[in-house]
Amino acid sequence: RDIMSELPPITIVMTTFFPDQRRKVAARMTLKSWRRRLQYGGHLYLNVADDGSDPFIFNDFLDRAYRIWGESVYKSQQQRRGVGASLNLGFRTAFENSPLVLYAVDDWALTQPFDLTPWAQLLMEREDVGMVRLGPPHPGTSGVVEMFTENWQGWGLRLDRKGFAFGHRPALYHKRMIDRYGWFIEDVNALECERYY
Mean pLDDT computed over 17-36:
93
Mean pLDDT computed over 154-163:
74
**What predicted TM-score, i.e. pTM, was given to this entire model?**
0.89
Residue 162: the pLDDT is 73
Alpha helices in 38-185 (DSSP H): 55-69, 83-95, 117-125, 175-181
More confidently predicted of 164 and 80: 80
Q: How confident is the model at residue 152 (pLDDT cuts 50, 70, 90)?
A: low
Q: How confident is the model at residue 1 (pLDDT cuts 50, 70, 90)?
A: very low
Pairing of strands 131-133, 171-174: antiparallel
Length of the chain: 197
For the ranges 18-27, 85-94, 104-113, 158-167, the one whose mean pLDDT is highest:
85-94
User: What is the pLDDT of the chain when averaged over all its residues?
Assistant: 89
Angle between helices 21-37 and 55-69 (to 10 degrees): 10
Q: For 73-107, how does the pLDDT look when each residue is reduced to its tens digit (9 = 90+)?
A: 999 999 999 999 999 999 999 999 999 999 998 88
